[in-house]
Chain A
Amino acid sequence: MKTTTLFAALLATFAAMPAAAQGSFPNRAISMIVAFPPGGVADGTARPTAAAMEKVLKQPVNVTNRPGAAGAVGNSVVANAKPDGYTILMALSSISVIPAADELFNRKPAYSLDQLVPIALISADPTILVVHPSLPVKSLKELLALARSRPGQLSFSSSGIYGALHMPMEMFLHAAKLKMRHLPTAGGGPALIAVLGGHVELTAGGPAAITGHVKSGKLRTIVSWGGERHPAYPDVPTFKELGYKNVEYYIWAGLVAPRGVPDPVMKSLRDAVRMVVNDPDFKNMMAKLNSPIRYMDAPEFRKYWDGDAKRLAALVKVVGKVEAKK
């Protein structure tokens, strides 16, 4: 009798499985890939998002770090993943730069942007231009005057060539027709250290990373790359206000999926993220991280991403190969 019951139960389980597989998404754990090591912007956004998505989708959402080659490794993992919605990527804005740089160097591209489709934009933060306090400038006007009087003498640090903190500086330098020395470093932290130590004069910094140093007077803010003034820095003007219409740059984080995910699955994912951004726990966590939520659903995000990618790709071409410039 006992055996029969067990057998029947087993049979029922097996019979139910295909039905569940065809049924509602998701019926197993989702893997959210982060193309950077833990502790960065991508990881910091992914973990609260994943935690809130679990509550909505009633399935585990596991964050997996696949760091390497400035994000190219993790991005290409998702670009080439099976498009079933169970592998998604917490992408950073640099996702658009890597294929452009690959093209510039005639490399076999790690992935192409049309392999990926947007789910939703989650956060976006402009960079802010900061200078070492010993530099005698307090405004963009004074900075420009100083830079023009010492062409090619000032230097700025960045998170690496074509990196998230390099692109905004080049955007500004190109628009203002300035020349400065570029000191690439191994990441956002070292780039900040270079300014704090006075080894370079300026850098573009993320608002969260610079707050403590600005408050204690070790860094001075000059201007922001935002479309409007940053809520945490109401006194810092934007490039746009000061007449640089095209100088706008955000470090953004958004969820993307491989192309070809079935429409109903995409809809579930988009709906889930819409619920996530209104979850109080999620909002609370993002506020603690100083990471402003900027939600855009897929169609809107698509438009924003396309514009951003086009601008960055053009910029990579303008910057060109470093060797070729000499």
Chain B
Amino acid sequence: MAETFQNLMLGFSVALQPSILVYAVVGCLIGTLVGMMPGLGPLAGISLLLPATFGLNPIVAIVLLAGVYYGAMYGGSTTSILMRIPGEAASVMTCIDGYAMTQNGRGGPALAIAAIGSFVAGTAGVVGLMLLAPTLADWALRFGPPEYTALLLIGLFILAYMSGGSMLKTLAMAALGLMLGMIGIDVMTGYTRFSLGIVELGDGVGIVPVAVGLFGVSEILLTAGAVAAPEVQRPRLRDLVPSGEEFRRSAGPVARGSLLGFMIGIIPGSAHIISSFVSYGIERRISKHPERFGNGAIEGVAGPESANNAAATGAFVPMMALGIPTSPVTAVMIAAIMVHGILPGPMLIQTQPELFWGFVASMYVGNVVLLILNLPMVGVFVNILRIPYGYLYPCILCFCIVGTYSVSNSLVDVWILLIMGAIGYALRKFGYDLAPVALGLVLAPMLELSLRQSLTMSAGDYGIFLERPIATTMLGLGVVLLLFALKPLVFKSKDWRSEVGLEKQ
């Protein structure tokens, strides 16, 4: 413990040097902007910045890029809450209750809680990274394809708790998402599926254009098609601060979201987007009033926003402790330090203590900076709502298109965005909930790959799922979840869905 403290002091002595501090602040600022920009997510943001870091020293480079990464997690919530347009893919779940809160005139508190939740989760994540990195990294490596399959199955079972609409419609939307996820080259055999001869579709349909299209573009179309223009909101100052009740309700979701997000973030290959889905599902499941979700429940903002921030920090555990890239974002960051001749590997923390501890300390600083940056900005951001929709929405549409294009310089992505916008518009007119589409799209390719990888490992024997303790435990948990979801169907007992008249649709 004393050693950790000493190391941390070393870290702060590095991170508080003005030359490094400046870059941490700049990184956080860029990250916030990148996160706010629909379509442009953390990966695109740090990829665009990567070449600029070649001339800097490695500590500065990694501090800057990390700032962009977790800064984007803060920024992503802003447009989700105010306009129902996900600033980046992991903020899809925030759109639902965050925007409902804005419509209820509670947009300010939603933004504030998102920022505070992100801060708590981010800081808790850094503590976890600092104390547990080497231990947890070895645990993370034990996550092979079978464990991953089990985790993704749990993700699918959580669907039942995700949506506020009828179960049939939810499952239909999940199926649509799963089918979209089947597009592209089959990683196991090399066959191209449903690509219509378009080379770009070989990689499948990306989550960014789909999420921004389904949620963002459809929202713009819906507003344009409304009979009466929505009233421009004029938030007052006292409406910006969360009430005591809202703080109390958020505490649990923030704590659970932080823990859950961190654990999911550590697992190689899992995206922070899943952590926000799972967090939302859990909060709804354990809530005494699940019917409030979808209509502006603060828990639905606090949980997922904390989870995606903690997951972003969790992803640094295997990166730092083992030197392996577990996600595209950490791959770019490893490239950024490799350029400076630092070899990634399990010895990184020992051989480069200034780098690791400076990085850890800079994240403590960065999270404070982001909180200071974001809380007063709540007042500014909320005032965006004063702009008449006739001016605001065309601008947002432009941002959506530019942001989506810039991710991989692909026009095909822009078409997917627009087509998904049209589909999303039609589906919402018929009262379908769109979050399950996004979850299905994210899960389908990962679930398929890990299931088939597992079966390759065992030469086709499904017993592999029962031979590995982590996988077996998680599958058991999944089955329990499934049974809970099935209970009302089997016993015809009333759950909250029928109580609030949802199943009568």
Chain A residues packing against B (C-beta within 8 Å): 37-40, 43-44, 47, 63-70, 72-73, 76, 101, 104-105, 107-108, 110, 152, 155, 160-162, 181-187, 189-190, 192-194, 196-200, 208, 211-213, 215-216, 218, 285, 287-290, 321-323
Please indicate the chain B residues that have their CB under 8 angstroms from the CB of A196 in the complex: 141, 322, 324
- Residue B216 at the chain A interface, CB threshold 8 Å: no
Contact with B457, one of A162, A181, A216 (Cβ below 8 angstroms): A181
Please indicate the chain A residues that have their CB under 8 angstroms from the CB of B143 in the complex: 197
- Residue B105 at the chain A interface, CB threshold 8 Å: no
A70 near B188 with CB under 8 A, answer no
Separation in Å of the A210 CB from the closest CB of chain B? 9
Count chain B CB atoms within 10 A of each CB in A63, A162, A288 and give the residue with the most.
A288
Known: A38-B50, A67-B408, A110-B199. A183 touches B453 (CB 8 A): yes
Chain B residues packing against A (C-beta within 8 Å): 47, 50-51, 54, 141-145, 185, 187-192, 197, 199-200, 202-203, 268-269, 322-326, 328, 331-332, 334-336, 338-341, 343-348, 408-410, 449, 453, 456-457, 459
Contact with B189, one of A64, A110, A161, A194 (Cβ below 8 angstroms): A161
B202 near A69 with CB under 8 A, answer yes
Known: A44-B338, A67-B408, A212-B345. 19 other contacts (CB 8 A): A37-B47, A38-B50, A39-B335, A65-B408, A67-B203, A69-B202, A72-B199, A76-B199, A110-B199, A162-B190, A183-B457, A190-B268, A193-B141, A196-B322, A197-B141, A198-B141, A216-B346, A218-B346, A288-B340
List the A residue with the shortest CB-CB distance to B145: A199
Q: CA of A194 to CA of B191 in the docked complex: distance in angstroms?
A: 23
Contact with B187, one of A67, A76, A104, A186 (Cβ below 8 angstroms): A186
Please indicate the chain B residues that have their CB under 8 angstroms from the CB of A66 in the complex: 408-410
Please indicate the chain B residues that have their CB under 8 angstroms from the CB of A63 in the complex: 51
Please indicate the chain B residues that have their CB under 8 angstroms from the CB of A190 in the complex: 268-269
Separation in Å of the B501 CB from the closest CB of chain A? 44
Contact with B326, one of A155, A189, A208, A215 (Cβ below 8 angstroms): A189
Separation in Å of the B266 CB from the closest CB of chain A? 12
Q: CA of A22 to CA of B47 in the docked complex: distance in angstroms?
A: 36
A69 near B185 with CB under 8 A, answer yes
Q: CA of A216 to CA of B137 in the docked complex: distance in angstroms?
A: 15
- Listed by A's residue number, 19 A-B pairs whose Cβ atoms lie within 8 Å are A37-B328, A39-B332, A44-B335, A67-B203, A69-B185, A70-B202, A105-B190, A107-B192, A161-B187, A181-B456, A182-B456, A197-B143, A197-B144, A198-B144, A212-B344, A216-B347, A288-B338, A289-B338, A323-B191
A72 near B202 with CB under 8 A, answer yes
A47 near B200 with CB under 8 A, answer no
Number of A-B residue pairs at CB separation under 8 A: 159
Contact with A40, one of B188, B322, B335 (Cβ below 8 angstroms): B335
Separation in Å of the B325 CB from the closest CB of chain A? 4
Please indicate the chain B residues that have their CB under 8 angstroms from the CB of A212 in the complex: 323, 343-348
Please indicate the chain B residues that have their CB under 8 angstroms from the CB of A65 in the complex: 47, 408-409
Q: CA of A288 to CA of B337 in the docked complex: distance in angstroms?
A: 10
Contact with A39, one of B50, B197, B457, B459 (Cβ below 8 angstroms): B50
Please indicate the chain A residues that have their CB under 8 angstroms from the CB of B50 in the complex: 38-39
Separation in Å of the B56 CB from the closest CB of chain A? 14
Known: A39-B50, A183-B457, A211-B343. A193 touches B189 (CB 8 A): no
6 nearest A-B residue pairs (beta carbon): A212-B345, A69-B202, A39-B335, A199-B144, A288-B341, A197-B141
Contact with B346, one of A64, A104, A152, A213 (Cβ below 8 angstroms): A213
Contact with B202, one of A37, A73, A186 (Cβ below 8 angstroms): A73
A186 near B199 with CB under 8 A, answer no
Separation in Å of the A40 CB from the closest CB of chain B? 7
Please indicate the chain B residues that have their CB under 8 angstroms from the CB of A107 in the complex: 192
Separation in Å of the B467 CB from the closest CB of chain A? 13
B339 near A289 with CB under 8 A, answer yes
Please indicate the chain A residues that have their CB under 8 angstroms from the CB of B200 in the complex: 68-69, 73
Known: A194-B144, A212-B323. A161 touches B188 (CB 8 A): yes
A68 near B338 with CB under 8 A, answer no
Please indicate the chain A residues that have their CB under 8 angstroms from the CB of B268 in the complex: 190, 193
B191 near A183 with CB under 8 A, answer no
Known: A65-B47, A108-B197, A193-B141. A38 touches B332 (CB 8 A): yes
